[in-house]
Structure 1
Amino acid sequence: MDLKEPQTPSPSCAKILMLHGHAQSGHSFRCKTHFLQETVGNILLKSIPKDQNRVPFDGFEFHYPSGLWPANPDDFNVESNHMWVWGYGDPETDRIRGLETTIEYLLHFMDIHGPFIGIMGFSTGACIGAVIASLLERRESVGNLRFDTNHPPLGFLASFCGFPLEHPAYKSLYNPKIETPTLHVMASMDVVIEERQSLRLMEFCKNSYMHYFFGTHYVPRSEDFLDVLANFFEHAFENDGVEEDEWEDLEN
Structure 2
Amino acid sequence: MTSNEPCATVPSCVKILMLHGHGQSGQFFRCKTQFMHQAIRQVVLKALQENPRRGQVDTVEFHYPSGILPANPDHPRGESNDMWAWGNGDPELDIIRGLEQSIQYIFRLLEQHGPFIGVMGFSTGAALAAIIASLLEKEKPVYGFQFDTFHPPLEFVISFSGFKLENPDYKHIYSPKIKTPILHIIGTLDTMVSTSQSLRLRKSCANASLHSFHGTHYVPRTRHFLKALAQFVEETLGSEGYNEGDWEDCDED
* Normalised TM-score (structure 2): 0.90
Query: Per-residue displacement from partner, 1:166-209 (whole Å, max 9, x unpaired)?
Result: 11111111111000000000002101001000000000000000
Task: State the partner residue of 2:175.
Answer: 175
Tell me the distance in 2 between the aligned counterparts of 1:225 and 1:42: 15
Confirm or deny: 8 A CA contact 2:154 2:180 kept in the other structure: yes
Task: State the partner residue of 1:3.
Answer: none
Shift of 1:249: 0.7
- Give the aligned length: 242
Confirm or deny: 8 A CA contact 2:119 2:157 kept in the other structure: yes
Q: Structure 1: which amino acid aligns with 2:248?
A: D
Partner SS state of residue 91, structure 1: coil
State which drifts further: 82-91 or 42-51: 42-51
Shift of 1:235: 2.0
Tell me the distance in 1 between the aligned counterparts of 2:171 and 2:202: 15
Cα 1:35/1:144, change in 2 over 3 Å: same
Cα 1:233/1:110, change in 2 over 3 Å: same
Q: Does 1:225 align with 2:225?
A: yes
Q: Structure 1: which amino acid aligns with 2:148?
A: D
Structure 2 unaligned segments of length 5 or more: list them.
Answer: 1-8
Task: State the partner residue of 2:4.
Answer: none
Confirm or deny: 8 A CA contact 1:21 1:85 kept in the other structure: yes
Q: Structure 1: which amino acid aligns with 2:131?
A: V
Tell me the distance in 2 between the aligned counterparts of 1:99 and 1:31: 25
Confirm or deny: 8 A CA contact 1:231 1:250 kept in the other structure: no
State how 1:96-175 maps to structure 2 within 5 Å.
96-175=96-175
Structure 1 unaligned segments of length 5 or more: list them.
Answer: 1-8
Q: Structure 2: which amino acid aligns with 1:248?
A: W
Task: State the partner residue of 2:14.
Answer: 14
Cα 1:40/1:146, change in 2 over 3 Å: same
Tell me the distance in 2 between the aligned counterparts of 1:211 and 1:52: 29
Shift of 1:89: 0.7
Tell me the distance in 1 between the aligned counterparts of 2:36 and 2:208: 22
Partner SS state of residue 59, structure 2: strand
Tell me the distance in 2 between the aligned counterparts of 1:27 and 1:35: 14
Task: State the partner residue of 1:6.
Answer: none
Larger Rg: 1
Confirm or deny: 8 A CA contact 1:228 1:251 kept in the other structure: no
Shift of 1:50: 4.8
Tell me the distance in 2 between the aligned counterparts of 1:151 and 1:86: 21
Task: State the partner residue of 1:239.
Answer: 240
Partner SS state of residue 58, structure 2: strand
* % same residue: 52
Report the aligned-residue RMSD. 1.8
Tell me the distance in 1 between the aligned counterparts of 2:220 and 2:132: 23
* Normalised TM-score (structure 1): 0.91
Tell me the distance in 2 between the aligned counterparts of 1:82 and 1:18: 16
Cα 1:50/1:69, change in 2 over 3 Å: same
Shift of 1:108: 0.4
Tell me the distance in 1 between the aligned counterparts of 2:208 and 2:228: 13
Tell me the distance in 2 between the aligned counterparts of 1:76 and 1:55: 47
Q: Structure 2: which amino acid aligns with 1:153?
A: P
Task: State the partner residue of 2:6.
Answer: none
Task: State the partner residue of 1:194.
Answer: 194
Confirm or deny: 8 A CA contact 1:131 1:173 kept in the other structure: yes
Shift of 1:48: 2.4
Tell me the distance in 1 between the aligned counterparts of 2:236 and 2:53: 20
